[in-house]
Structure 1
Amino acid sequence: MMILKKIESQIEIEFDSDNEAEIVLKSIEPELMDSPSERTETEIKCKDNLLIIKIIAMDSTSFRASLNSYLRWIDLSKQVLELKN
C-alpha cells in the first residue's frame, strides 16, 4: 500500500484578457489570507491572461476542498464581471 506524503497540483485558467485575470486575482486574494484548510498551502498569481493556482495539500480531502473553494470563488468573480459588461 502506498501512502501519499502530499499532493501538489498547478491549474491554469485562461481569461479573455490580462485585465480580467488580474481583477479576478484581486477579488480572491483576501481568501488567501484565510486558507480553506490548515492542511493546504495555496499560491495564486497572474501571468498575462492566465490565472495560475498552485495547491500543496497534506491529503486528498483537503486538496479537493481547497480546489473546490478556489474554483467557486473564481467562478463567482467571473460571473460578477459578466454582469458588469
Structure 2
Amino acid sequence: MNSFELILEFDSEEEAEVIYKSIFLEHLTSQIKSSAKMEINKNIIRINVKAEDISILKASIYSYLRWIGVAQNIYKICKE
C-alpha cells in the first residue's frame, strides 16, 4: 500500500475551517480507488491518502491540492 501525508498550515483557524468544510463533500465522494483521512486541528489540515496503485495515489493528491487551491482562492477573494 502506498501512502502520502499532506499537512497544510493556514494563516488562521477560520481559513482552515472554511477550506476544510469547502472540500469535505469532495473528500467523502472521491474515495473510490483510494482511501483518505482528513482532519483539522486549529489552523492545520492533515490529509492522509492511501492507494494500492501509485498513479491513483498521485491523482488523489492532485485532486486534494486542486480543491484546496480553489477553496483558498475563493476565501481570499471573499475576504477582500
Q: What TM bracket, shorter-length normalisation?
A: over 0.9
- Structure 1: which 5+ runs fail to align? 1-5
* Structure with the greater alpha carbon radius of gyration: 1
Could you tell me which residue of structure 1 aligns to residue 22 of structure 2?
27
Q: What does the per-residue CA deviation read over 1:41-85, in whole Å, with 9 as the maximum and x for residues that have no partner?
A: 011111111110110111111000000001000000000011012
Report how many residues are paired: 79
What's the offset of the Cα at 1:11? 1.0
TM-score between the two structures when normalised by the length of structure 2 = 0.92
Asked if 1:15 is matched to 2:7, the reply is: no
Could you say what the CA RMSD is over the residues aligned between the two structures, in angstroms?
A: 1.0
Question: Runs in 1 of length 4+ with deviation above 6 angstroms?
Answer: none
TM-score between the two structures when normalised by the length of structure 1 = 0.87
Larger % of helix: which?
2
Work out the CA distance in 2 between the residues paired with 1:7 and 1:81: 32
